[in-house]
Amino acid sequence: MLATRKRTFLGIVVVLVGILAAACSSGSDAESTPPLSAAAPTGSTTTAVAPAPDGPLAADFTMPLYNGAEFFDGATEVTLASLQGRPVIVNFWASLCPPCRAEMPDFQELWEELQTIGSDAIVLGVDVGTLTGLGDREQAIEFLDTIDLTYPTGQATDADIVRDYKVLGMPTTVFVHRNGTVMRTWTGAITGDKLREITQELISS
């Protein structure tokens, strides 16, 4: 009887390990994403440009900046409406959210690559820590001081932003088309390859 129970227990453990392994590997990309490329000029016949997405209009918001004022002519805050005409990658993060902190270097790498290819796309890091109980302004600034981020980041001050952008998990990334509509929302941590893949779709449409 004892031997039978041991075999049954071991069988359950093996099954659980297999399930966990599959879950941990899901979402990772087998192949790396090709380098980003700038959108083809209007009238180009070499690159097929997808039609503009017909998603919901992205809600406007005003965000006081922690850093990145140099990208907005020295302004101390930015509004999403002021960026219409440019693709925008909005990353909702919080200083006490480990997955948020872990993926931010990938957003920095993306930002540097966008700058290199001369894209007009912009990355915005929106701190919702005070709205989600995952950190305050001081903790966010202290964290940012420990990493070398150059893309614009700031603090969300209106709780409506969490509802408007359906921030159901942390982190959440929203890809906003240059026409001001939401092309795609990614809930949870995103890999660097997937981030670049979706961004390529965004800047090419």
Q: Per-block average pLDDT, block size 10, for the chain (205 residues)? A: 40 31 31 56 32 79 97 97 97 98 98 97 98 97 94 97 96 97 97 98 94
Q: What tokens appear for 167 in the block?
A: 């921030």
Question: What is the predicted pLDDT for the residue at 38?
Answer: 60
Question: What is the predicted pLDDT for the residue at 46?
Answer: 26
Question: What is the predicted pLDDT for the residue at 179?
Answer: 96
**Regarding beta strands 122-127 and 88-93, do their DSSP bridges make them parallel or antiparallel, or are they unpaired?**
parallel
Peptide bond into 99 cis (omega under 30): no
CATH 3.40.50.2300 is the classification of domain 56-204:
no
| Helix, coil or strand: residue 60 | coil
